[in-house]
């Protein structure tokens, strides 16, 4: 043991636990196998103070390891349900990890489910050990049956409200619909009108409640009960999902419009989040692929398959604003569709950055797409304006083109250079607008504009702040794709300006909305002071949250990127992306 204690090359987690470390980067295999955070190989973390902070981290790690080592004792799902959950396999490393949810094959003639998966027997099986996973719902007395709207069990109502009050705002912190728009009423209606979406949501809410409780209680039996509750809702979701897919395929075979199209889209989006937050595999990518397939079928067609009312179709196709006089059903349909369209497009853009591929929904000639609708204001949903996101998507496509050309030993052609110049002009236009508004920074502080330097920073709304940080990220991202980490003097002013913007204008509550730009900007952080700044951001709340444990993967990637900047000649962006498989920086 003394030999292991003298090992100074391991990650900080293994050194704290006094365990052997294999030194894998960005995360060691010991931490990975135990599903505990690997704190990397950089400078000593702030919490390693031989005091209360270190004790708290140690206790937390022990709890997770204890929980992981006992996962085999957790009651397994019935064999029939486990067959369901292997449709989209993944490597689960923690008892909290979900069983994989079904994948969709969305083709021109509909949504297809594998033909060998007949669930009718599974759903109807009433034998011991294979009973339906849904908790019995308290039945209303006969005398009061007519006054009961939704007979929801008490535990489910608590979990549902936990999701609406706590989880949904974490998923979409910038989304604050007005009262005139109906608030989040469309979400409640959607959840209560589709069983698989309802149970997928309860599973996600249960997962978050357990993660929060894990910090406050060491009751192992409560943790196990919460896991069983989570898996119960997921199993119900899967069984119901299969039936709906069959119903949709049957509707398409007889050329009728499936009524569940929009609900299925919402379910697939929820499964993306559930699989990514709770899992360690790639099932979330399969669901995202399915969601983009649904959208790529074409805007007019997707409106048909979503079974929107005629007025809703008119509003969407003609890009009309919603008015107070619209029918509530119309407002609900339009609000739901716009929210889902923006969410899928946003996830597509963000995932392409770390995957090194072109976004599947990159706008081209299709004027009817969500990208061309001024009434769909992306900044109201995710904080960033669509014009900036389009340029980020174009940069990702540029990276894929460059990677393919280099693999074939082809030189960069004039078209590549022209695209770089065009994107650069678009981004510079956004930066110039910032300068006019007094929001341009240099060398980590306010610009030399006299009025800006003698006054406190101007009040700026949250959406403008988020859009501006994304704009700085886009300029840095374009440089990294074009030149890698060479010729950094060309972008040094924008790096300093981005840091100045974050220091001066970004309040703490906005940091969770800026995970992706913070990650990209962090890759080029200047020596030590800048690195320490990003270490703090990615190792403490609000960026770190019980729901977003995947964000712990980002700091080790940054640490390794900083190390390679010092040790690798001609470091490229493609080499950084080798460290980001299956990472979605949200």
DSSP assignments along 232-269, one per residue: HHHHHHHHHHHHHHHHHHHHHHTT---TTHHHHHHHHH
Res 234: pLDDT: 79
Res 281: pLDDT: 72
Res 532: pLDDT: 93
How do residues 14-40 score in pLDDT, each as one tens digit?
898 888 898 888 788 888 888 787 888
Instruction: Select from 493, 569, 527, 27 the least CA-distant residue to 535.
Output: 527
- In the predicted model, is pLDDT for residue 464 greater than 60? yes
Give the highest mean pLDDT range of 103-117, 143-157, 231-245. Answer: 231-245
Half-sphere exposure at residue 488, Cβ-oriented, CA atoms within 13 angstroms: 15
- Top pLDDT among 249 and 545 is at 545
Q: What 3-state class would DSSP assign to 491?
A: coil
End-to-end CA distance of the chain: 40
Residue 582, burial from CB neighbour count under 10 angstroms (0-12, 13-18, 19+): middle
Mean pLDDT throughout 369-390? 88
Phi, psi angle pair for 184, to nearest 5°: -100, 25
Q: What is the rounded distance in angstroms from the CA atom of residue 319 to the CA atom of residue 451?
A: 40
Q: What is the rounded distance in angstroms from the CA atom of residue 77 to the CA atom of residue 233?
A: 11
Res 270: pLDDT: 94
How do residues 496-535 score in pLDDT, each as one tens digit?
999 999 998 899 999 999 999 999 999 999 888 889 999 9
The pLDDT confidence band at residue 369, using thresholds 50, 70 and 90, is low
- Kindly write down the DSSP assignment for every residue of 276-309, as one continuous string: HHH-SSSHHHHHHHHHHHHHHT-HHHHHHHTT--
Res 397: pLDDT: 95
Res 471: pLDDT: 96
- Looking at the structure, give the CATH architecture of the domain made up of residues 2-73: Irregular (4.10)
- Top pLDDT among 378 and 118 is at 378
Half-sphere exposure at residue 14, Cβ-oriented, CA atoms within 13 angstroms: 24
C-beta of residue 11 within 8 angstroms of C-beta of residue 31 = yes
Instruction: Select from 455, 292, 259 the least CA-distant residue to 369.
Output: 292
Res 92: pLDDT: 37
The pLDDT confidence band at residue 119, using thresholds 50, 70 and 90, is very low
Res 113: pLDDT: 40
> Domains of the chain: which residue ranges?
2-73, 383-577
How do residues 201-251 score in pLDDT, each as one tens digit?
999 998 998 888 776 666 566 666 777 778 788 788 878 777 777 776 666
Phi, psi angle pair for 71, to nearest 5°: -65, -25
Distances from the Cα of 326 to the Cα of 309, 311, 376, 500, angstroms = 12, 9, 17, 45
Mean pLDDT throughout 350-355? 96
Q: What is the rounded distance in angstroms from the CA atom of residue 400 to the CA atom of residue 89?
A: 27
Q: What is the rounded distance in angstroms from the CA atom of residue 539 to the CA atom of residue 536?
A: 5
Distances from the Cα of 529 to the Cα of 445, 520, 556, angstroms = 15, 17, 17
C-beta of residue 195 within 8 angstroms of C-beta of residue 240 = yes
- In the predicted model, is pLDDT for residue 81 greater than 80? no
Kindly report the length of the chain. Answer: 586
- Top pLDDT among 428 and 64 is at 428
**What pTM was estimated for this model as a whole?**
0.73
């Amino acid at each position: 043991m003394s030999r292991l204690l003298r090992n100074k090359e391991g990650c900080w987690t293994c050194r704290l636990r006094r365990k052997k470390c294999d030194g894998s980067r960005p995360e060691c295999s010991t931490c990975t196998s135990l599903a505990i955070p690997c704190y990397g190989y950089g400078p000593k973390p702030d919490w390693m103070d031989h005091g209360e902070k270190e004790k708290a981290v140690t206790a937390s790690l022990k709890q997770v390891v204890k929980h992981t080592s006992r996962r085999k004792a957790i009651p397994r799902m019935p064999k029939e349900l486990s067959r369901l959950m292997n449709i989209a396999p993944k490597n689960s490393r923690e008892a909290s990890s979900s069983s994989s949810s079904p994948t969709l094959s969305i083709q021109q003639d509909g949504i297809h489910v594998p033909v060998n998966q007949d669930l009718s027997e599974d759903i109807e099986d009433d034998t011991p050990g294979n009973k339906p996973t849904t908790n019995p719902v308290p039945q209303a007395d006969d005398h009061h049956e007519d006054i009961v709207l939704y007979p929801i069990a008490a535990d489910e109502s608590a979990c549902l409200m936990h999701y609406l009050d706590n989880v949904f705002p974490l998923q979409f912190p910038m989304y604050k619909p007005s009262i005139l728009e109906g608030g989040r009423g469309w979400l409640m209606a959607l959840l209560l009108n589709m069983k698989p979406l309802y149970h997928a949501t309860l599973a996600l809410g249960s997962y978050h409640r357990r993660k929060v409780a894990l910090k406050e209680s060491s009751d192992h039996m409560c943790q196990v009960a919460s896991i069983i509750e989570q898996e119960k809702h997921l199993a119900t979701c899967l069984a119901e999902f299969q039936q709906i897919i069959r119903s949709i395929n049957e509707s398409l075979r007889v050329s009728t419009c499936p009524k569940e199209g929009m609900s299925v889209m919402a379910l697939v989006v929820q499964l993306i989040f559930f699989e990514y937050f709770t899992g360690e595999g790639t099932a979330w990518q399969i669901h995202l692929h399915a969601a983009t397939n649904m959208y790529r079928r074409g805007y007019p067609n997707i409106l048909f398959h979503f079974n929107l009312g005629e007025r809703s179709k008119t509003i969407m196709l003609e890009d009309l604003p919603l008015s107070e006089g619209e029918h509530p059903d119309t407002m609900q349909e339009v609000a739901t569709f716009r929210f889902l369209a923006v969410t899928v497009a946003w996830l597509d853009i963000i995932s392409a950055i770390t995957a090194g591929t072109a976004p599947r929904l990159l706008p081209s000639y299709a004027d009817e797409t969500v990208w061309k609708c001024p009434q769909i204001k992306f900044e109201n949903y995710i904080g960033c304006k669509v014009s900036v996101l389009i340029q980020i998507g174009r940069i990702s496509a540029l990276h894929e083109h460059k990677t393919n050309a280099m693999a074939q030993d082809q030189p960069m052609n004039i078209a590549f250079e022209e695209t770089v110049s065009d994107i650069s002009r678009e981004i510079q236009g956004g930066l110039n607008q910032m300068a006019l508004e007094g929001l341009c920074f240099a060398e980590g502080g306010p610009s030399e504009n006299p009025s800006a330097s003698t006054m406190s920073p101007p009040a700026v709304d949250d959406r403008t702040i988020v859009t501006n940080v994304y704009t700085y990220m886009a300029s840095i991202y374009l440089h990294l794709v074009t030149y890698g980490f060479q010729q950094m003097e060309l972008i040094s002013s924008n790096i300093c300006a981005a840091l100045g913007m974050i220091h001066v204008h970004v309040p703490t509550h906005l940091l969770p909305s800026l995970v992706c730009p913070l990650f990209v900007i962090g890759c080029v952080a200047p020596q030590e002071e800048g690195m320490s700044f990003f270490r703090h951001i990615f190792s403490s709340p609000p960026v770190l949250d019980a729901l977003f444990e995947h964000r712990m993967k980002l700091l080790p990637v940054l640490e390794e990127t900083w190390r390679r900047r010092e040790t690798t000649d001609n470091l490229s962006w493609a080499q950084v992306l080798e460290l980001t498989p299956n990472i979605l920086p949200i």
